[in-house]
Chains A and B, each alone.
Chain A
């Protein structure tokens, strides 16, 4: 069955540091990939998504992610983090056997703490 791994449980960075959060999925077929963010006390919201085309995807708030099919990876990056980026980040993939986006498979999440 499809699964998603996020390698870091908790990342602590200082402001202006660069960020890269790892995400790997297990199924090697056609997948749709997502990064969601949950700011403290707020709803899950979509940061960016990849369906097809350019493997470098740009999202909101300066985030980007690169899809590397050969590595089954979809890592999230930001060149310079801000204190306001403190949040929990979730990688997700659609379940291709489900035939519906309802079958999002989520990673366990990575908590990012940015020190001012």
Chain B
């Protein structure tokens, strides 16, 4: 069974630009969560989508947004990029959205903002 895939793996942008990251969950998984990983803040929850609906959102500004498609694939978008947005963005998928569903993580997209 293929794992969670994320594209692109690496991305370089400049301040003020916007970026879209993509995540394909494991086949059959309907929940996708996004996390930001930085050396200073560690892993921080961005948002979760289940059946095309945002279920929960972390404490990030409105510049961070996401969506989920009917095939469960998800995208996250960051507008008006700032230097501090440089991070590894991880996507995780799970079968459902309940507390006991194990999350499987993808390799991440490394975003560098210059």
Interface of A toward B, CB cutoff 8 Å: 32, 36, 43-46, 49, 51, 90, 92, 94-95, 98-109
A100 cross-chain contacts in B, Cβ below 8 A: 48, 50, 55-56, 97-99
- Kindly state the separation between the CA atoms of A77 and B102 in the bound complex, as whole angstroms: 21
Q: Which of B33, B42, B102, B104 contacts A107 (CB 8 A)?
A: B42
Q: Which of A32, A90, A105, A108 contacts B45 (CB 8 A)?
A: A105
B4 cross-chain contacts in A, Cβ below 8 A: 43
Interface residues on B, range: 20 to 34
**Residue in B closest to A41 when the chains form the complex, CB atoms:** B107
A32 and B100 contacting across the interface, CB-CB below 8 Å: yes
A103 and B45 contacting across the interface, CB-CB below 8 Å: yes
Where chain A touches its partner, the secondary structure class is loop
Which residues of B11-67 are within 8 A (CB) of A? 31, 33, 35, 42-45, 47-48, 50, 55-56, 58
A103 and B43 contacting across the interface, CB-CB below 8 Å: no
B31 cross-chain contacts in A, Cβ below 8 A: 101-102
Q: B58 to nearest A CB, angstroms?
A: 8
**Residue in A closest to B6 when the chains form the complex, CB atoms:** A43
Q: Which of B47, B56, B102 has the most CB atoms of chain A within a 10 A radius of its CB?
A: B56
A45 cross-chain contacts in B, Cβ below 8 A: 104-105
